[in-house]
Amino acid sequence: MTTQDNKTWSGRFSEPVDELVKRYTASVEFDKRLAPFDIQASLAHATMLEACGIIATQDLTDIRRGLMQIKQEILEGKFSWLLDLEDVHLNIENRLTALVGDAGKRLHTGRSRNDQVATDVRLYLRHAIDELQEGIRDLQYSILDLAARHIRTIMPGYTHLQVAQPVSFAHHLMAYFEMLKRDAERIADCRKRVNRLPLGAAALAGTSYPIKREMVAELLGFDGVSENSLDAVSDRDFIIEFTACAALIMTHLSRFSEELILWMNPRLGFIDIADRFCTGSSIMPQKKNPDVPELVRGKTGRVNGNLVSLLTLMKSQPLAYNKDNQEDKEPLFDSVDTLTQTLRIFSDMVRGITVKPDAMRSAAMQGYATATDLADYLVKKGLPFRDAHEAVALAVRFAEQNSCDLSELTLEKLKEFSPLVADDVYSVLTLEGSLASRDHIGGTAPRQVEAAITKARKDLEG
C-alpha cells in the first residue's frame, strides 16, 4: 500500500491524521471487495445526475470512461489501493479524478459516503444471496439424488440418541431437505428487504439537488427506495437479518455434520465419507478423520458469533450514521464467505457418501424399534392405548431379559401380555411392516418417501 495525502476533509483540520489512527480507522483492506458494486452504483448515480441537468453530458461521458478503466485495472490487479484514502470509495474517486479531471470531482454531487456505502453493501449482499440460493439448491439436489437410491434402506430413527422407530435412510435425508427448503425461503424473503435503495439520502437528511431516486433504483434493479433518509443511512437490519439466515443454515448443516460423524464411526458404520473429504493422523496410521463435517460444526460457531457481533454493534446506536457501522462489513463478509464455501463443499461431500445398508438394518433390529407398532396393533384390536403401552412395555422387558427381539417371541408368549394377539401380529413386527404402516404425507412409508422426493425435485425444477 502506498500513501497519499487525504484532501477529502483536510481543510477543516490543523494537523494531519496520526499514522496509527489512520491505520485503525481505514477499511480499504476489507471493503475493497465492494469495488464492482461501488462502480455500478456510481454509474447509475452519474446517469441520474446528467438526466436531471445537475452535471453536463460530457461529464457523464468522462465519468463512464474513467470508471470502466478503473474496473479493468481492478480486474487485472493493476489498481493501487491507497491506505491514506481510507476506503474503497475514496480510492475509486481519487483514481477517477486523476483520469478524467473535474468530472471525477463532480461525481459525488448529491450523495455522501453514508448513503454510498449503504448502497454498495446492499448491491453486494443481493449478489451474494443470489449465489447462495444456487448453493442451497445444489445441496438439495445432492440430498435428493442420495435419497432416491435409499428409499427402502432401513435404519433406526432416534430420539435422545436411543433407538426409537425404524425409518428409511431416504426419509431421514429428506428431513434435511426440508430444513434447506425453509432456509431458501428465508433468504429469498430477506432479499426483498435488502433490495431497497438508500442512495439519495446523502449524509442523513437528503439533498437539495433535484435528484430522481426512483430512476437510480430502476437502473440498479432495486424494488424501491428507502423511505426515510435517516433510516436509509443507519439501517443495518438487512445485514443482521441475512446473518441470522446464514446462522440458521449453518446450524442445520452442523446437525447434518454431527450425524455424518456419528454414522461414520466404526461402532455404527452406517456410511463412509470419501477420502477426499477426510484426513489422517500424524501418529495413528489407521485413522480416517471426518475433518470436513467437524469443521462445519466449528465454523457454525463463527457465523453465529458474527450475528451476535452485529446485534451488539447496533445496540443503542443513535441516529443517524456512526463510525461504529464500519464494523458491519467484516462479520458480513465472513458469513458470506463461510456459508458459500460450506455449501459448495457439503454438496460435493454428500455426493461422495457410501451407504452401508446392512449395518443400518442391523442397528434397526436393536432397541426394540417395532414396539410402538405392537402397541398400535393392540389398539386396533380394541385395547385402550395406555393399556396397550403397558402390555408392550412388559413384553419388551421380557425380551430384553431373554436377549431376543419381539419378533422372536412365540405366539403363546405374546398372548400372555395380551389375549388380543393373533397370528397376524408378526406382520407388524417386521421392519418393512413398520415402515409400510406409516403411509401418510410426511410418513416414512416407501410410497410416501418416493412421492416426497418426486415433489421436491419438481419444486426445485419449477
In angstroms, the Cα distances linking 10 to 5, 27, 32, 85, 204 are: 9, 19, 23, 12, 21
How far apart CA 449 and CA 150 sit, in angstroms, is 10
Query: What pTM was computed for the model?
Result: 0.93
What is the pLDDT at residue 216?
98
Res 12 pLDDT > 90: no
Check residue 367 and give left, alpha or beta (phi > 0: left; psi -120 to 50: alpha): left
How far apart CA 196 and CA 430 sit, in angstroms, is 57
> What 8-state DSSP symbol labels residue 168?
E
In the chain, domain spans: 10-109, 114-362, 367-461
What is the pLDDT at residue 11?
67
What is the pLDDT at residue 1?
41
**What is the arithmetic mean of pLDDT over 386-395?**
96
CATH-assigned architecture of domain 10-109: Orthogonal Bundle (1.10)
- Does domain 367-461 fall into CATH 1.10.40.30? yes
What is the pLDDT at residue 61?
98
How far apart CA 296 and CA 290 sit, in angstroms, is 10
Res 174 pLDDT > 60: yes
Query: What's the grid cell of residue 141?
Result: 439436489
Say which CATH superfamily domain 114-362 falls into.
Fumarase/aspartase (Central domain) (1.20.200.10)
**What is the arithmetic mean of pLDDT over 393-400?**
95
How far apart CA 263 and CA 378 sit, in angstroms, is 34
How far apart CA 3 and CA 89 sit, in angstroms, is 16
Query: What's the grid cell of residue 116?
Result: 454510498
Q: Each residue of 110-121: pLDDT tens digit?
A: 999 999 999 999
Give the torsion sign (CA, 92, 335, 237, 123): positive
Catalytic sites, residue numbers: 160, 281
Percentages of the chain per state (helix, strand, coil), in multiples of 5: 65, 5, 30
**What is the arithmetic mean of pLDDT over 310-338?**
97
Q: Each residue of 149-173: pLDDT tens digit?
A: 999 999 999 999 999 999 999 999 9
What is the pLDDT at residue 7?
53
How far apart CA 417 and CA 420 sit, in angstroms, is 9
What is the pLDDT at residue 91?
97
**What is the arithmetic mean of pLDDT over 434-457?**
97
In angstroms, the Cα distances linking 274 to 112, 140, 285, 348, 404 are: 52, 19, 17, 10, 36
Task: Give me the chain's average pLDDT, please.
Answer: 95
Q: Each residue of 219-267: pLDDT tens digit?
A: 999 999 999 999 999 999 999 999 999 999 999 999 999 999 999 999 9
